[in-house]
Amino acid sequence: MTALDFICLAPFLLLASAPIIIMLTITITRNIKVVYGFSLLMFLLSFISLFIVAPYIPHVIAPLFIIDSYSLLFLAIIIFAGFLITILSYIYISQQGDDKEEYFIILFVAALGASVLVVANHFISFFLGLETLSISLYILVAYIKTRSYSIEAGVKFLVIASVASAFLLFGMGLIYTATGSMNFKGVASALGSLHALSPILLTGFVMLLVGIGFKLALVPFHMWLPDVYQGAPAPVTALIATISKGAVLAIALRFFMDIQGFNNQAIFIALSAIAIISMFTGNLLALNQGNLKRMLAYSSIAHFGYLLITLLAGSTEGIHSAIFYIASYIITTLGAFGIISLLSVCSGNADSIDDYKGLFYKNPFMAIVMSLAMLSLAGIPLTAGFIAKFYLVLAGVKSGLWLLAFSLVINSVISLYYYLRVVTTMFTTSDQVKPSTIPLMGNLVLVVIVIGILFLGILPAWVSDIIASLS
Amino acid sequence: MTAYIPFIPAIPLLSSLIIILFGRILSKKIVAFLGVGSVSLSAIITIIAGINFISSTPENGSYTVTVWNWLTTGGFSANIAFSVDALSLIFCFVITFVGALIHLYSVEFMDHDEGFARFFAYMNLFVSSMLILVLADNLLLMYLGWEGVGLCSYLLIGFWYKEPENGYAARKAFIVTRVGDTAMIIGLFLLFINLGTLNINELMQQASLKWAVSSPLAILSAALLLGGALGKSAQLPLQTWLPDAMAGPSPVSALIHAATMVTAGVYLIARTHVLFALAPAVQAAVAVIGAATLIIAGFSALTQHDFKRVLAYSTISQIGYMFLALGVGAWSAAVFHFMIHAFFKALLFLGAGAVIHLLHHEHDMFKMGGLWKKLPIIFITFLIGSASLAALPLISAGFYSKDAILWFAWSSTNGSKWLWLAAYFGAFITSIYTFRMIFVTFFGEAKTEPTHKPGKLMTIPLVVLAIISLIGGFIELPENFGHFQIFSRFLSTTLPSVQLAGESHNELLFQILSAIASLLGIYLAYLLYFKKSSFAESFSNSQLANFFYKGWQFDWLYDKVFVKPLVWLSEINKNDFVDKIYTAIAKATEFLNSLLSRTQQGRLRWYVMVLTAGVVIILTFMLNL
Amino acid sequence: MNTIFYIAGAIALLSSILAITNRNAIHALLYLILSLLSISVIFYILGAPFIAALEVIVYAGAIMVLFIFVVMMLNIGLEEELENKWLKPRMWILPSIIAAILLANLIYALRVLEHQTVTPQIIQPKQIGISLFTTYLLAVELSAILLLAGIIGAYHIGKQKKKIIHRFLKK
Amino acid sequence: MVTVSLEVQILFAGLLFLIGLVGLLVRRNIIFMLMSIEIMLNSAGLVFVIAGSHWAQADGQVMFIFILTVAAAEVSVGLALILQMYHHFKTLDADALNTLRDKNER
């Protein structure tokens, strides 16, 4: 370990030290406010540390990590989302029973796991990052243990995630057996010497795909998602939807690009089929869904179906559009779950779409943010979602993926139906006009999200230029 | 130096947003201040920009201000960028200046309306969209403004939405213009696919480089753009919506349906004149359509009873003149007539609106009369506006602008004696129906009593517009007297000057001819409607008059040709397969939804089973490929 | 040596099957421990003595004991009739078919390795230790954090609020 | 030393994996499901050890240690969850966990 290594690991060290310091403060006094303030500070510090790291990239810490501009960008997204989720979590969790402080420890471990995934280029760091993330998520999902549905979601998540990681591990094992390397580049160079993928490697890749597909909730590995979304506390759902999925997408992109997976016809066809089926399944399931969290879960299945297009495009443009898409998806999803979580705090449960009836008359700001989030998810112009979809289609079309682009367009139309249903629900009048107020910090989060959605939608050039400058 | 250009459309937009968001809280005074103030501020900025532009005209005649780059990927870029040149400055000036006066007038006109804030929000939004339309440096942004003004027009025609008829009129306007818009958007795609850009300047350069004169693509895209222009500017055959659009409040008719929005088509053609020059056939069509429209609408105006419908048909007719001018290549004459027309037609609409307002919303001219004593200021200003419309020789601004068109219709290389004859005949009819309006409304015996005198806020705009309608013509005098052509010299940096076919020795002859037409028309109107000749009575009861009254039965025709067959088709299809396809799609979606939903029944083992089965299927598939 | 591999392998497979089919949880766990022990034998003869030890200590020792604790806490030894109700013979059909297809695929895929044999190479614990604390040091640190999360999570979720009601207040 | 072919060794691991999988799919008792998962994870670790000794690298065994760590953490959280599940649902039946699901009310 050199000094440079330590500098480049600064964000990770900060994220890793946070749980330990929180534990120490808990031994002194159990004060949630202290923990909360400290958590915000640590996320802020680790965000700042990214700028310290920036001059030294790309830096490889052999053999586990590679810190390049690409991973730095994902790190920024993750830490930013982590910061907002911390605020939402505090507002949400401070209403709950005892032992609230541990929540933040686990939150940091989850963020650490996700960050490791982003820089991993080795099976060991891949697996450990994934599991660090998963285990923290089991805990967070079931964190409010007095709720039976939280526990149910936790058990389901744990069992299926474990199965998926068993598959993932077995797949890694097979690839290791066939290539003798666990490093992505090593695997890629071993593949380069083969003219065709041997069946054992294909089997390995399919099993690896289970692990990734599970986390991204692609059909047919998607079944857990709605149940977990519904059962988990709203901020945790936001965490799953944003940080977890973003990090897994990052490593999937890296692995896929390293091994040039799109060049293999079998993998290409299989992934295309998964993408198209995911789009249709997600959107069809969302159509009649009365539970908003479940609806968003189904819509997320469809969105990650769209995102597979970037993988299959196999071009730098594909990667750039993927980063833009995930950034806009994360900010938009945070908006939606932010509203759900804030509303759950101030008026009990806010899962059902019916709970949003007349929201516009109770709290116009929240209703506008929610509408904006829905419009962005649907891909209406001047929101982040539109630009993201536009880049996506462009990348797909440039690589000649007409079928995929076509089904994306069809599915966008289908999805419009249920997104707009939420919007119209909020604007229908309801008899009970009890104004609901939210804490100041909650409003702040929403303002940041609104700015984010509109910024990406109106001035996408700024962000897309940054993305395009990545090598 | 140029950084303030974006504020011209931004200020009204901002004010509109403020009124929309806080309209309920704000008092009427603040709303009025915001509404009028924002447009006035834009007008001031426009004038500053104009002065700057004249004092230091850029070399190529225009400069561009990029506000931001919305998207750029692989050859396609969508900018929010404004391009300032002589043409857009003139349009901006008219929009903001006339707009500010109309806003001021509206403060009094709409005073007792419950939708006061809503009205100003829409009006400001309209001004902003219209400014975006004329300032846009690419066709995509222009299309945004184009749709924006369409939306505002729709909202404002149906402003008094409690009357269902107003809603129908709004929808009619929206749908008819939509026919043109569809053609236009196809045209935009065509241009983008073939020339690879939507930036207007680049587009024009590319077009003249890549396309030969009369090449099929040039003709097709010019024709498609013309379609959009026809819809927006209410020209044949898409003119039917404008008379019905008079359902909106009078200031709306003045601003949107007379002075600005309906001339967007003129702007579009002038802006893309290079393209039209490449397609002479289409340009000739523009002239013919203009000539036909001006006569047809003139006859319709002759028979109307509703005050505002006369003006509506006259607007269609006057825009016909502008199209005629565009068609013969007299670009600056068209723009000149647009400007003068905006002044006097806004004046006429505001005057008419004031009369209607003060007479308990009485629209029928024949139920008015003798108003000249009771409403002297309105009468005088209205008379000045009418003189301009009827092109009264020498003293009215309308004379100079219309005379230029008549002259070029004859003398331009694209002109012909037939076009001139149509325009000449149109001028004659124009002066008849204009003074018919004057004699019927302001003279004769009084049939109604105005409730009160118009207030200051209403009279000031009338007076200002009346003064401009008198003197506005002197900025562009014909060659044979004065040869004072500041206007066309200003425009020459942007638009090419007209190509004359022959020598100009007989220009005076044409001026005398058109003066005769104008005076003759007034005299005829005097005979028929002041002296109450029996012919006027019998004519207005004739079949022919009824035919004109119904706007040459275009509505009836469209009803028979398009609407009825469609209704018939959809009716016989009610149980037919087309419907079945749609219900089948809906059913299939629902079925798939319930099928998939059944998979999500919460059983953990089933979830794992699906996951495993998925692995097995994918693996089997991949190993056997 | 090959014979030992086959014998240990057979025992491992058999006891695993018994473990998943047994109705009594404690019995099943004991079978599972047997299976893990025989896998540890295989580790040993594959040249991984350190892993063999860990398999016994951590898997068979610690993790399985954890299971047994939970089973005993929940007293589910008494629920054999329930298991009888839950385990219908026809429930085995579909999973077995899926597993069989997967197995067929696996056999097909593994044919490429047909003629490769493991080179007899013993990897000493020292080598693993060096590797762990030099190359993979950061991974070790990460797994420490992971375990920390596991401990806190298990503590938080497993903790039951004790409801202590004074005997006078009991009804 | 062993001279069994690599194919057979990996196949052995695969068989263990599949036994775990079948157990997972069949058993309704959540404890048995967790046990089956342990079998699967263990078999995946086995593959790494086999491959490690095939390539004469320590990496395979290192990976096994990490799998072990993760399995331990997973089991501890899993068992805690089972305790809570028993507390809430009064059963260990995995199929009883179906309060979260699509309701076809519309």
Count how many domains chain C has.
1
pLDDT for residue B502: 62
Note whether B601 contacts D: Cβ–Cβ < 8 A.
yes
- Distance of residue C153 Cα from the nearest chain D Cα, in angstroms: 6
Determine, for residues B611 and A214 on separate chains, whether the beta-carbon distance falls below 8 Å: yes
Give the residue on C whose Cα is nearest the Cα of A97. Answer: C161
Chains A & C: contacts with CB separation below 8 Å: 86
The answer to ipTM > 0.90 is yes
- Sign of the CA dihedral with D48 first, then D51, D55, and D61 last: positive
Name the average pLDDT for chain A: 89
Average pLDDT score, chain C? 86
What does the alpha-carbon distance between residue A302 and residue B407 come to, in Å, rounded to a whole number? 65
* Of the listed ranges A333-347, B239-253, C71-85, D7-21, the one predicted with least confidence: C71-85
B245 half-sphere exposure, CB direction, 13 A CA radius: 34
Q: Tell me the domain boundaries of chain B.
A: 1-278, 330-541, 549-573, 575-624
pLDDT given for residue A439 in this prediction: 84
pTM above 0.90, yes or no: no
C102/B615 Cβ within 8 A: yes
For C108, the domain range is 83-114
Q: Is C115 helix (H, G, I), strand (E, B) or coil?
A: coil
Contact call for D21 and B612, based on CB within 8 A: yes
- Nearest neighbour of D104 by CB, restricted to B594, B602, B608: B594
Contacts of B612 in chain D (CB under 8 A): 21, 25
User: Which of D28, D77, D87 faces C154 most closely, judged by CB atoms?
Assistant: D77
Instruction: Report the C-alpha gap between C23 and B54 in whole angstroms.
Output: 96
Q: For residue A350, is it within any domain? A: yes
> Are the Cβ atoms of D59 and A159 closer than 8 angstroms?
no
Taking contacts as CB-CB distances below 8 angstroms, the residues of chain B near C98 are 609, 612-613, 616
**Sequence-ordered list of residues with C-beta below 8 angstroms from that of B148, at least 6 positions apart, any chain:** B125, B126, B128, B129, B130, B132, B133
Residue A435 predicted with pLDDT over 70: no
pLDDT tens sequence across D81-100: 999 999 898 888 888 888 88
Whether residue C60 lies inside any domain: the answer is no
What number is the average pLDDT over the span A309-319?
88
A75: pLDDT confidence band, cut at 50, 70 and 90? very high
Q: How far is A97 from chain D, CA to nearest CA, in Å?
A: 16
Which pairs with CB-CB distance under 8 Å and at least 24 residues apart come from B374-381?
A: B374/B446, B374/B449, B374/B450, B375/B450, B375/B453, B375/B454, B377/B454, B377/B459, B377/B462, B377/B463, B378/B351, B378/B354, B378/B454, B378/B459, B378/B462, B379/B442, B380/B466, B381/B347, B381/B351, B381/B462, B381/B463, B381/B465, B381/B466
d(CA A139, CA A446): 26
Spatial distance between the Cα atoms of A228 and A294, rounded to a whole number of angstroms: 9
Going by C-alpha positions, the residue among A109, A81, A43 that lies closest to residue A445 is: A81
Q: Which residues in chain C touch residue D39, judged by CB atoms under 8 angstroms apart? A: 16, 19-20, 32, 35
D90 at C interface, C-beta within 8 A = no
Inside any domain, residue C20: no
Using DSSP's 3-state secondary structure scheme, residue C90 falls into helix
Measured between beta carbons, which residues in chain B are less than 8 angstroms from residue A315? Answer: none
- Binary contact (D52, C123; C-beta < 8 A): yes
**Cis peptide bond upstream of B216, omega within 30:** no
Q: Which of the residue ranges A50-54, A132-136, B150-154, B469-473 would you say has the lowest mean pLDDT?
A: B469-473
**What is residue A428's predicted lDDT score, i.e. its pLDDT?**
76
Judged against a pLDDT cut of 90, whether residue A175 lies above it is answered with yes
Interior angle at CA C147, CA C144 and CA C148, nearest 5: 85
Contact A135 C145 (CB under 8 A): no
Q: Does D105 have pLDDT greater than 50?
A: no
Place of tokens 């806080």: B22
Strand, helix or coil for residue B66: strand
Contacts of D33 in chain B (CB under 8 A): 604
Per-residue pLDDT at C166: 62
- The structure tokens listed for B64 are 């561009």
Chain A residues with CB under 8 Å of B606 CB are: 223
Q: Kindly provide the b/e burial profile for residues D21-47, where b requires at least 16 CB atoms within 10 angstroms of the residue's own CB.
A: bbbbbbbbbbbbbbbbbbbbbbbbbbb
Identify which of B50, B36, B37, B35 has the alpha carbon closest to the alpha carbon of residue B4.
Answer: B50
Q: Do D77 and C39 touch (CB under 8 A)?
A: no
Q: Name the helix (H) or strand (E) containing A67.
A: strand A65-67
Which of C108, C137, C149 is opposite residue A132, by nearest beta carbon? C149
And the tokens for B238? 């898409």
Nearest to C19 among D25, D35, D71 (CB): D35
pLDDT tens digits along B11-53: 888 888 888 777 777 788 888 888 889 999 999 998 888 888 8
User: Considering CB atoms only, which of D2, D20, D64 is closest to C45?
Assistant: D2
* D37 chain-A contacts, CB cut-off 8 A: 159, 162-163, 166
Task: Examine residue C161 and state whether it is found in any structural domain, yes or no.
Answer: no
Q: Is the Cβ pair A163, B611 closer than 8 Å?
A: yes
Render pLDDT for B235-256 as a digit per residue (tens, 0 to 9).
877 878 888 888 788 888 888 8
Q: Which residue of D has its CA nearest to A287?
A: D106
H helical segments located in chain C: 2-21, 25-45, 49-54, 64-74, 80-86, 93-110, 125-133, 137-158
Q: Does the residue A143 lie in any domain?
A: no
Our measurement of the distance from residue B135's CA atom to the centroid of its chain's CA atoms, rounded to an integer in Å, reads 16
Does the beta carbon of B193 lie under 8 angstroms from any beta carbon of chain A? no
Which residue on chain C is closest to B616 by alpha carbon?
C102
CA dihedral of residues B259, B260, B262, B268 (deg, nearest 10): 140
- Does C164 lie at the interface with D, CB-CB under 8 angstroms? no
Residue contact B613–A220, C-beta within 8 A: yes
Task: Tell me the mean pLDDT in the region B216-226.
Answer: 87
Q: Checking DSSP bridges between strand A59-61 and strand A65-67, what pairing results, if any?
A: antiparallel
Over residues A283-297, mean pLDDT = 90
Q: How far apart are CA A32 and CA A102, in angstroms?
A: 9
Cβ under 8 Å to B: A residues 125-144 = none
The one-letter amino acid code at A172 reads M
Q: Which tens digits make up the pLDDT trace of B564-608?
A: 776 766 666 555 555 667 677 778 888 888 888 888 888 888 999
Cα dist from C146 to A104, A459, B347, C137, whole Å: 14, 40, 79, 14
Domain assignment of residue C68, yes or no: no
Residues 6+ apart with CB under 8 A from B116: B28, B31, B32, B110
Residue A62 resides in a domain: no
Asked if residue C77 has pLDDT above 60, the reply is: no
3-state secondary structure of B81: strand
* Whole-number Å distance between alpha carbons of A162 and A182: 21
How does residue A431 score in pLDDT terms, banded at 50, 70 and 90?
low
The minimal CB distance from D58 to the residues C39, C123, C160 is found for: C123
Would you say residue C100 lies in a domain? yes
Q: Decide if A168 contacts B615 (C-beta within 8 A).
A: no
For B111, other C-beta atoms within 10 Å of its C-beta total: 12
A448 lies in some domain: yes
Helices (H), B158-263: 164-195, 200-210, 216-232, 241-244, 250-254
Rounded to 5 degrees, φ, ψ at B235 are -105, 165
In angstroms, how far apart are the furthest CA atoms of chain D? 66
3-state DSSP call for residue A21? helix
Is the alpha carbon torsion for C134, C138, C141, C142 positive or negative?
negative
| Residue for token pair 């990927």 | B73
* Residue B1 clears pLDDT 60, i.e. is over it: no
Distance from CA of B69 to the nearest CA of C (A): 44
Count of H-run helices and E-run strands, chain D = 3, 0
**Would residue A412 count as lying in a domain?**
yes
Q: Tokens for A257?
A: 């690009």
Phi-psi sector, A358: left (phi>0), alpha (psi -120 to 50), beta:
left
Lowest mean pLDDT of A162-166, A392-396, B75-79, B181-185, name the range.
B75-79
| Mean pLDDT within A15-23 | 93
| Residues in D touching C69 (Cβ below 8 Å) | 79
Q: CB distance from C114 to chain D under 8 Å? A: yes
Tokens standing for residue A441: 């910090």
CB contact under 8 A, D42 and C147: no
pLDDT value at residue B573: 58
The count of C-alpha atoms lying within 13 angstroms of the C-alpha of C41, restricted to the half-sphere facing its C-beta, is 17
- Summarize the confidence of residues C21-30 as an average pLDDT: 89
- The span from the CA of B274 to the CA of B542, in Å, is 46
Considering only CA atoms, which of B300, B307, B430 is closest in space to residue B367?
B307
What pLDDT is stored for residue A221 in this prediction?
93
Q: In sequence order, what are the residues at sequence separation of 6 or more whose Cβ sits closer than 8 angstroms to the Cβ of residue A174?
A: A200, A201, A203, A204, A207, C109, D10, D47
Cβ separation of A203 and B619 shorter than 8 Å?
A: yes
Calculate how close chain B gets to A268, using CA atoms only, in Å: 10
Rounded mean pLDDT of chain B?
82
Q: Each residue of B463-510: pLDDT tens digit?
A: 888 888 888 777 777 766 666 777 777 777 777 777 776 655 577 777
Contacting residues of A for D105, CB less than 8 Å apart: 290
Q: In whole angstroms, what is the distance from residue B76 CA to residue B521 CA?
A: 55
Rounded alpha-carbon distances, angstroms, from residue B520 to B304, B432, B515, B517: 21, 8, 8, 5
C146: nearest CA partner in chain A: A132
Q: What is the pLDDT of residue B485?
A: 74
Of A214, A270, A390, the CB nearest to B618: A270
* End-to-end C-alpha distance for chain A, whole angstroms: 26
CA distance to partner chain B, nearest, from residue C55 (Å): 27
Query: Which residues in chain B are closer than 8 Å to C94, comparing Cβ atoms?
Result: 609
- B147 pLDDT more than 90: no
For residue B74, which residues of chain A lie inside 8 Å, CB to CB? 317, 394, 398
Is pLDDT of B354 > 60? yes
Give the residue on D whose Cα is nearest the Cα of A295: D102
Chains that touch D (3 or more CB pairs under 8 A): A, B, C
Report whether the peptide linkage leading into residue B58 is cis, meaning its omega lies within 30 degrees of zero.
no
Q: What is the pLDDT of residues B97-133, one digit of tens each?
A: 989 989 988 888 888 877 788 888 888 999 999 999 8
Alpha carbon distance B300, B173 (integer Å): 19
Q: Searching chain C, which residue's CA lies closest to the CA of residue A124?
A: C139
B611 to chain C: closest CA residue: C98
pLDDT value of residue B140? 83
Alpha-carbon gap: A158 to the closest alpha carbon of chain B (Å): 11
Judged by DSSP in three states, D106 sits in: coil
Max avg pLDDT among A177-181, B199-203, B327-331? A177-181
Question: Taking CB atoms and an 8 Å limit, are C136 and A124 in contact across chains?
Answer: yes
Confidence check: pLDDT of D106 > 60: no
Q: Do A288 and B593 touch (CB under 8 A)?
A: yes
Kindly write down the DSSP assignment for every residue of A131-200, as one continuous string.
HHHHHHHHHHHT-STT-HHHHHHHHHHHHHHHHHHHHHHHHHHHHHHHHS--BHHHHHHHHHT-SS--HH
Per the structure, the count of domains in chain A is 1
At A362, list the tokens. Answer: 């109770």
Assigned token pair, B404: 């230029």
B65-69, B532-536, B554-558: range with lowest mean pLDDT:
B532-536
Closest by CA to B512, choosing from B384, B399, B379, B362, is B399
Residue D4 with chain C: CB contacts under 8 Å: 2, 5-6, 117-118
Q: Is A184 on the interface with D (CB under 8 A)?
A: no
Residue D98 contacts B, CB cutoff 8 Å: yes
Given CB atoms, is D99 within the 8 Å cutoff of chain B? Answer: yes
